[in-house]
A and B are shown apart, each in its own frame.
Chain A
Amino acid sequence: MRRDPQAMELDTLLGRVAQGRDRAAFAALFAHFAPRIKAYLMRLGAPAALAEDLAQEAMLSLWRKAQLFDPAKASCGTWLFTIARNLRIDALRRERRPELDPGDFAPEAEPDPGDAMSLAAGEGRLREALGTLPPDQALVVELSFFADKPHSQIADELAIPLGTVKSRLRLAMARLRGALGEMP
């Protein structure tokens, strides 16, 4: 089975933070993720100082919440993405983010604990697929995450109809979600 060795290693580091409050593991995760979170937030328009503060907050959240991390549900990188995303909304928008609570619905079929491996494999394939998307699809996916603009505005700026943006997104989602679910 193909899997992403780096992603597995990051998940392992996070496990060491969760179980042993391991500061060296935290420092390694910080070195990897904090500059990426800062860059992500800057792409979304945050000034450098604020982006760095929020990256710090995201990493401290990781330290506080490490035992909530479930490697069968998402990789460490995906989990941090959601943390950084929510911190940004809290900081920049000052609006409440309607947040789903797992208690809100009947539990889904829980993935096997052994599924952490196949999940990591799926996310590895997803990342490869992100690199091989046709450029027009890759662009609308990137802008969806990094532009902080409604799709109607993205369409205007690309000078293409909104329907075209949506159909490119649909094609991209089919490819990317397909890569996630593909059997190894």
Chain B
Amino acid sequence: MSIAHHPDDALLLAYAAGITDEAEGLLVATHMTFCAACRAAVADMEKIGGGLLERVAPAPLTADALNRALVRLDTVKPYERPHRDVSHDGTPDVLHAYLGGDLADVRWRRMGPKLAYAPLFRRGGTRVRLLRGAPGADAGRHSHYGLEYTLVLRGGYTDHTGSYGPGDLQLADAAVSHSPVADPGEDCINLAVTTDSLRFENLLQKIAGPLFGF
């Protein structure tokens, strides 16, 4: 299946420039494991970084800088490829490191008969978690106080803006009110980043949302 929803140029560029925060960086890197077009775009953007590095006015070094470097050449350890755990179920490696295992091993916390989540990490007000919905699961109509990024890892979901499958990234901001429903077939698993709380419209979810940290 081809990917229809990509990070925009600004987000890819921020990733290539190294200024995304960790949550955005994880989203972009995980999206890139699905998307050859964005890998190529980021590689090109890194070439822009290389071009800018060439154009920057050089800053003079301290007088003995080169000698200090030369002295260290003989003492640096030879490069070894960092060890990477290998996933057994196609979990993107970049995510594997955060999960400490495979998607299959995630310990889910239930939020209802069809919905579950697993927190990954939190930086300030930004929360990163996995969401899981059984087919037909309805996340409930909500809008957003901040930004909500949703990257599909498995399965898919649909809202009024379209359908999202593996690798697709949806960005919803304060202007978007949506009611995503998990597609039929396998469970939908998403990587979700929110920079602030969600605004549920349903009374029960209004009460329950904050309990679960949404």
Residues of A within 8 A of B (CB): 7, 23, 26-27, 30-31, 33-40, 42-43, 48, 51-52, 55-56, 59-60, 63-65, 67-68, 73-75, 77-82, 84-86, 88-89, 93, 95-101, 103-105, 108, 122-123, 126-127, 130-131, 141-142, 144-151, 165-166, 169-170, 173, 176-177, 180
User: Would A74 and B47 count as touching, CB distance under 8 A?
Assistant: yes
B203 cross-chain contacts in A, Cβ below 8 A? none
Known contacts A67-B79, A97-B18, A99-B94; 16 additional CB pairs below 8 A are A26-B73, A40-B56, A51-B59, A56-B72, A64-B78, A78-B50, A98-B30, A100-B29, A101-B93, A103-B86, A122-B47, A130-B48, A141-B52, A144-B10, A149-B19, A150-B14
Residues of B within 8 A of A (CB): 8-10, 13-14, 17-19, 21-22, 25-26, 28-30, 32-34, 36, 39-41, 43-62, 65-66, 68-70, 72-73, 76-79, 84, 86, 92-94, 97-98, 123
User: Would B76 and A63 count as touching, CB distance under 8 A?
Assistant: yes
A142 cross-chain contacts in B, Cβ below 8 A? 52
A43 cross-chain contacts in B, Cβ below 8 A? 56
Known: A52-B61, A100-B32. A81 touches B76 (CB 8 A): no
B157 to chain A, nearest CB (A): 23
A71 to chain B, nearest CB (A): 13
B45 cross-chain contacts in A, Cβ below 8 A? 173
Q: List the B residue with the shortest CB-CB distance to A41.
A: B59
A144 cross-chain contacts in B, Cβ below 8 A? 10, 13-14, 17, 19
Q: List the B residue with the shortest CB-CB distance to A96.
A: B22
User: Would A60 and B25 count as touching, CB distance under 8 A?
Assistant: no
B12 to chain A, nearest CB (A): 9
B55 cross-chain contacts in A, Cβ below 8 A? 127, 130-131
User: Would A88 and B69 count as touching, CB distance under 8 A?
Assistant: no
Q: List the A residue with the shortest CB-CB distance to B67.
A: A27
User: Would A104 and B92 count as touching, CB distance under 8 A?
Assistant: yes
Choose one: A39, A103, A123; the contact of B93 (CB below 8 Å).
A103
User: Would B94 and A104 count as touching, CB distance under 8 A?
Assistant: yes
Interchain CA distance A147-B70 in the complex, whole Å? 32
B21 to chain A, nearest CB (A): 8
User: Would A75 and B47 count as touching, CB distance under 8 A?
Assistant: yes
User: Would A98 and B29 count as touching, CB distance under 8 A?
Assistant: yes
User: Would A23 and B73 count as touching, CB distance under 8 A?
Assistant: yes
Interchain CA distance A136-B18 in the complex, whole Å? 22
Count chain B CB atoms within 10 A of each CB in A64, A97, A98, A169 and give the residue with the most: A98
User: Would A56 and B54 count as touching, CB distance under 8 A?
Assistant: no
